Structure formats: structure tokens, C-alpha cells
Chains A and B, each alone.
Chain A
Amino acid sequence: MGKHWVKAVKSVIRHDLHGAYRTYQPGDWFEVRNQELLELLARRLVDTTAHIIKAEFDGKDCGVLALGEATPPETLESYGIEVERELVPTLPWERTMIMSEGCCTTVESVALGLMRVGKDEEFPGWEMAAMLDSTTQLAQDIGGPEDLERTLELVGSLMVPVYNTGLVWVRRTPETETVIQLWSDELGKGADPKHAFIRAIYCQSVKLCTLPAEWIGKWI
């Protein structure tokens, strides 16, 4: 049975099987199954996004860089998004989503992230976007002694959050080229990908849009 993310456009009260309920205010997101989706749409309580994203997204000079055996969504072509495969991160397009092995996502999520790092005349835009790995995890909680020591030395603290490096959206600028080069060089030497990413983004300042852990857009 299919599941869909929807956005409340009016207050929605939902009950679970035990009778507990939760109220969703306009702007909140939640996941529904097919039958509930039809009911909520009929009552005009929610909105879905897939068609809006496709209409708003401009895939010009955009692509997914699949690292190693990463498996990008099959429908990228329908959005005009190209795919290349590499062993370490690079920025082949004006806007690139770097995807690591073991990650899955949807074409809508790829597009949402690429839109997040887009810019236009009105909005100067972010240069990079990446999700936090969890709400509480810190650099001190992951990696081996060598990576921990190197991060402490370069960043100045291990009490910085860990990013999910499975999906990283980047607009090509001199600053992001430096960040990706730093990250790539370290990965080439076998560094822990998450520690290497932390070292890169805290040593080279960049307009990074930090997304919350389990960013809802990942599943849209």
C-alpha cells in the first residue's frame, strides 16, 4: 500500500488505533496511506507536492554524482537530471547532488535539494545543503582515534554535529569547490567520510543550509 507525504492546509486531527490523537496545523507535514490521502484531498485539508516540484524545478545543468555503487532514483531523466559515476566527490554540474553508497532517495527529494541550493535575482541562495545525521550525535561520538584527533586539531572541538554525508547538494562556487576538494582529498586517503566532511565544512566557510536530521524532504 502506497504512502504519501502531505502538507496540511487546514487543521487536521488524526486518531491512531488506540484512540490517541494529534492535531496538525497548516504547514505541518505527515505521511498518509492511499485511502486517507483520497479522503483528505476530497475534504481539501491537505496538499501534495510531487506535481508542484516538477512544475517549479528547472533541471538545467543539474546532475547526480553517484559515488561507487550508489543507486540514484531511476526517474531522474524525467526531471532533466543527469547522472555520472565517480569514486570521490566532484562538481560536474552547476548544481550537483552527491550520493553515497547505501543511501536511497526519491527524484522529488533530489529536486527539492537542488532547488534549495539554487539562486535567482530575488534570492542569493545557499551554496550547499546537507542533513544532520541525528539530533544529538556529535563528532566525538563517531570515528577512530586518528580521525578524532585530526578533527579536534583542525576544527578546534569535537562538540560539533555530525552530518549525513549520504546526500549532499552543492552549487558550484569557488568556496564549494574548495570544500569538495578538501573532502575528496581526505576520502582518497581513506578518511572516515563523516569526519572528513566535518573538517572540510568547518575549515572553509561556506553558505551551507543545514537541514534537520530526517529532513522531511528526503522522503517526499
Chain B
Amino acid sequence: MDLGVIYVAYGRKAYNEAVASIETLRKFHDWPVLVVGDKPIKGTKHKKLEDPGTHGRWAKVNLHNLTDWKRTLFIDADTRINGNLSLGFTLLDRGFDLVIVPSHPQHNDMLRHLGKQERRITLEELPLDPLQLNTGVMWFGPGSVPLFKLWRQEWVRWKDKDQGALLRALYRHPVNVAILGHPFNSSNGEVIEHKFGACV
């Protein structure tokens, strides 16, 4: 069973959120957990990575280097686990490289959290009306490494939010992506409840 879960938690709020999220994860799974951040959490493995003031996004675009496992689930700290998460790993076993949930904003509301310049250039570079993906919950396998390398490359262009960078990377290097429904990542998620913004 070469799999595990990664949380990224920098700062007191994110640390407290990660502790609460891991507590809920434990009700369903005994998978190993790695926390990347400034402080270890009891019962988990800890890795330190200097965060250059990016709210953990530098760690996020480096997950492929930080993971100890072949198959990894990344979960944002501000989440609560309400159900079984095995489906993502099952899909990785079937040959998918990335398992992820779409964001709520789409079409003209998409990527509005990006800076004006990054959004404009991203929409110019991408083909018409792509699907915005929520990077708060992702299962990824070894086939996603080239994508992660490009994601980091794209993120470095603005060093700000990460979702636009992921879409640009996916356009440059498509991988086998499986899309899950909103129960796996939304504010009222039946499986993963995401308390958006609780770490800020």
C-alpha cells in the first residue's frame, strides 16, 4: 500500500485547521499523513520547506517532490472529512494521473481570484472556456510528475494563485484527469467539506 496524504500548513490558523481535518480523516482511514509546514503535528510525519510568503502555494506546486509515496492525496487544511476517500486511489490504480473536482465559478466568473494581468494572459493562452479546477483536494500518481514540473514553472511566472498556473500547465501537457463531483470538495461537501478561507 504505497499511498499517503499530504497537508500543507503554515501559520497558526492553518495548523489548527490541519489538526482538525486530520482528526476527521482518522475516522475513515489510517493512511500515513505528511504535514509540510513550520510545525509538526502529533502522529504525522513532518517536512519543513521555507515558504516565501505564498500561503503554502510554493509547497503545493512542489508536492511531487515532497511526497513519500507513489500515490498521494493532497487535502487543504481547511477541510473536514465526512466520508470514504478511497475512490481517488482506485482511479489512480486504473491509470488516471490526477483526480480532482471542478471549481464552482466557471465561464466569465472563472479565475477572477487571479491578479488582472495573470487572468488576462491566462485566458489568452488557454483555448476557449476551459474548466476551472479546484486544487484544494487532489489525488495524484507518478504520471503527474511532468505536469507538476510545468505547474511549478507556470506558477513562478506570477508567484501568486495556483489554479491559473495548473490550467496553463495542463494545456501544455494533458494527463489522464478524472473529475469527481462536488461532494468531494465543496463548502457543503458530503465527503469533503471545504471551509474556504478558514486559514487566511
- Contact A27:B131 (CB < 8 A) given known A159-B183, A161-B181, A212-B107: no
The verdict on B184 contacting chain A, using a C-beta distance below 8 Å, is yes
Residues in A with CB closer than 8 Å to B96 are: 205
Asked if B179 and A135 make an inter-chain contact with CB atoms under 8 angstroms apart, the answer reads: no
Contacts across chains A and B counted by CB atoms under 8 Å: 105
Asked if A211 and B182 make an inter-chain contact with CB atoms under 8 angstroms apart, the answer reads: no
- Give residues of chain B (79-132) contacting chain A, Cβ–Cβ below 8 Å: 86-87, 90-91, 94-97, 102, 104, 106-108, 116, 119-120, 122-124, 127-132
The verdict on A37 contacting chain B, using a C-beta distance below 8 Å, is no
Cα separation A97 to B184 with both chains bound (whole Å): 31
Asked if B120 and A27 make an inter-chain contact with CB atoms under 8 angstroms apart, the answer reads: yes
The verdict on A124 contacting chain B, using a C-beta distance below 8 Å, is yes
Minimum distance in angstroms from A40 CB to a CB of chain B: 16
Mark interface residues in A14-57 (1 if CB within 8 Å of B CB, else 0).
00000000001111111000000000000000000100000000
Asked if A208 and B177 make an inter-chain contact with CB atoms under 8 angstroms apart, the answer reads: yes
The verdict on B11 contacting chain A, using a C-beta distance below 8 Å, is no
Asked if A25 and B179 make an inter-chain contact with CB atoms under 8 angstroms apart, the answer reads: no
Residues in A with CB closer than 8 Å to B107 are: 29, 212, 214, 216
Give the interface size bracket for A toward B.
35 or more
The verdict on A187 contacting chain B, using a C-beta distance below 8 Å, is no
Asked if B129 and A211 make an inter-chain contact with CB atoms under 8 angstroms apart, the answer reads: yes
Cα separation A1 to B61 with both chains bound (whole Å): 48
Residues in B with CB closer than 8 Å to A203 are: 94
Interface SS majority for chain A: loop
The verdict on B191 contacting chain A, using a C-beta distance below 8 Å, is yes
Minimum distance in angstroms from A179 CB to a CB of chain B: 11
Asked if B178 and A202 make an inter-chain contact with CB atoms under 8 angstroms apart, the answer reads: yes
Residues in A with CB closer than 8 Å to B177 are: 207-208, 210
Asked if A25 and B94 make an inter-chain contact with CB atoms under 8 angstroms apart, the answer reads: no
- Residue of chain B at shortest CB distance from A115: B127
Asked if A159 and B191 make an inter-chain contact with CB atoms under 8 angstroms apart, the answer reads: yes
Cα separation A205 to B94 with both chains bound (whole Å): 7
- Contact A217:B128 (CB < 8 A) given known A125-B174, A160-B181, A207-B175: yes
Residues in B with CB closer than 8 Å to A161 are: 102, 179-181
The verdict on A138 contacting chain B, using a C-beta distance below 8 Å, is yes
- Give residues of chain A (103-138) contacting chain B, Cβ–Cβ below 8 Å: 112, 115-116, 123-127, 132, 135-136, 138
- Contact A159:B176 (CB < 8 A) given known A27-B120, A205-B96, A217-B129: no
Residues in A with CB closer than 8 Å to B119 are: 25, 27
The verdict on B173 contacting chain A, using a C-beta distance below 8 Å, is yes
Minimum distance in angstroms from B94 CB to a CB of chain A: 6
Asked if A209 and B180 make an inter-chain contact with CB atoms under 8 angstroms apart, the answer reads: no
Asked if B102 and A210 make an inter-chain contact with CB atoms under 8 angstroms apart, the answer reads: yes
Residues in B with CB closer than 8 Å to A126 are: 174
Cα separation A124 to B190 with both chains bound (whole Å): 36
Residues in A with CB closer than 8 Å to B90 are: 156
Mark interface residues in A135-164 (1 if CB within 8 Å of B CB, else 0).
110110000000000000000110111000
- Residue of chain B at shortest CB distance from A211: B131
Among A24, A28, A132, which residue has the most Cβ atoms of chain B within 10 A? A28
Asked if A206 and B176 make an inter-chain contact with CB atoms under 8 angstroms apart, the answer reads: yes
Cα separation A157 to B190 with both chains bound (whole Å): 13
Task: Other than A27-B122, A202-B91, give 16 A-B pairs with Cβ distance below 8 A.
Answer: A24-B108, A27-B119, A49-B128, A132-B179, A156-B91, A159-B180, A159-B190, A161-B180, A202-B178, A206-B176, A207-B174, A210-B179, A211-B129, A212-B130, A213-B106, A216-B128
| Smallest CB-CB A-B distances: 10 pairs | A27-B123, A205-B95, A216-B129, A205-B176, A212-B106, A159-B181, A28-B108, A138-B181, A159-B183, A207-B174
